[in-house]
Amino acid sequence: MTTATASPTASAPYARLEASDLTLAYADTAVVRDLDLAVPHGRITVIVGANACGKSTLLRGLARLMRPRSGSVLLDGDAIHRLPTKQVARTLGLLPQNPVAPEGVTVADLVGRGRHPHHGPFGRWTTADDEAVAEALALTDTLELADRVVDELSGGQRQRVWIAMALAQGTDLLLLDEPTTYLDVAHQVEMLDLLAELNARRGTTIVMVLHDLNLSARYADHLVALHTGRIVAEGTPRGVVTEDVVRTVFGLDSRVIDDPVSHTPLVVPVGRHQPRTSPPSPPSHSSQENR
């Protein structure tokens, strides 16, 4: 099991995962075009953008699930598609958007399947595997669910179990495609807190696609805004989330204010709807955007 101990330092972080001149395409349609991206090591990178902007495709490309039409994805300097896939799986973990929990599978069994890349052709389950699974369960606070059947868990519990599976893989890099989908707002925050703590404690480099711009701005060290397969802006949330960028990326007029809790940018959409004349309560019903 690999555990990075160093917490990210203030100096310019280097990148173990890079996209260089990357073009990804389905059939004849290029979804990601000539894209360059260096994933800062030990940081949380969040990719945002409108529906169908290519953000999930980019993540799949970074995770070697799609072969580049041109350009390349580099893992520690090597073209990721040329590396043995099992070797990559010991460095880079992936949680896709819709993983399938087989019927009747228990939490311990499911999380144990994350150990797959550590087993040789005839490899047997070892005590080290038990410990890695136990650690992943403890980190996601799911140890007491170990013998439960995954089908019977709540949405939030199930998502934590999937993250535990990805953690059991014991990788320094973790890629997640919309880990907060189908979760209510409390569980979304809980999930992102969990990932932020993992990043802080173990130095795990995290790359995730998120839908919610405000949560992205809150949790990202490095924010990447994607529009029609190209990067429009990247950098700190403060630098990326501006009214101009929101208009370009989402086609939305907005005001960007200071998040009173985290002091990160908070996007307030303008929209056409006006609240009825002088309601007694604040207009909380228009604060939900981009769903």
Closest approach of another protein to the CB of residue 166, in Å = 8
121 binds another protein, rule: CB under 8 A: yes
> Binding residue for another protein (CB under 8 A) from 135, 178, 212, 221?
135
> Binding residue for another protein (CB under 8 A) from 11, 147, 260, 272?
147
Range 200-229, binding another protein (CB under 8 A): 201-202
Tokens of 31: 């979804």
Q: Which residues contact 4 (CB under 8 A, 6 or more apart)?
A: 42, 172, 202, 203, 204
- Give 253 or 287: the residue with its C-beta nearer to another protein: 287
Q: Which residues contact 275 (CB under 8 A, 6 or more apart)?
A: 283, 285, 286
- Give 234 or 289: the residue with its C-beta nearer to another protein: 289
- Give 28 or 147: the residue with its C-beta nearer to another protein: 147
Q: Under a CB-based contact definition with an 8 Å cutoff, are residues 150 and 161 in contact?
A: yes
**Ramachandran category for residue 72: left, alpha or beta (phi over 0 → left; psi -120 to 50 → alpha):** beta
- Give 137 or 233: the residue with its C-beta nearer to another protein: 137
DSSP character at residue 272:
S
Closest approach of another protein to the CB of residue 7, in Å = 13
Angle at 263 between CA 260 and CA 269, to 5 degrees: 70
186 binds another protein, rule: CB under 8 A: yes
Tokens of 125: 């389950």
Range 100-119, binding another protein (CB under 8 A): 100-110, 112-114, 116-117, 119
Which residue type is seen at 201?
R
- Give 199 or 254: the residue with its C-beta nearer to another protein: 199
Q: Which residues contact 39 (CB under 8 A, 6 or more apart)?
A: 15, 16, 17, 18, 45, 62, 173, 205, 207, 222
Burial of 143 (0-12, 13-18, 19+ CB in 10 A): middle
193 binds another protein, rule: CB under 8 A: yes
Closest approach of another protein to the CB of residue 99, in Å = 5
- Give 15 or 108: the residue with its C-beta nearer to another protein: 108
Closest approach of another protein to the CB of residue 58, in Å = 14
Range 70-99, binding another protein (CB under 8 A): 84-90, 92-99
Give me the DSSP letters along 43-69: SEEEEEESTTSSHHHHHHHHTTSS--S
- Give 15 or 66: the residue with its C-beta nearer to another protein: 66
Closest approach of another protein to the CB of residue 83, in Å = 10
Distances (CA, A) of 268 to 156, 221, 288: 27, 21, 9
Q: Which of 93, 82, 73, 97 is nearest to 16 (CA)?
A: 73
Chain positions contacting another protein, by CB under 8 A: 3, 60, 63-65, 84-90, 92-110, 112-114, 116-117, 119, 121-122, 127, 130-131, 133-135, 137-139, 141, 143, 146-147, 149, 169, 175, 185-186, 189-191, 193-194, 197-198, 201-202
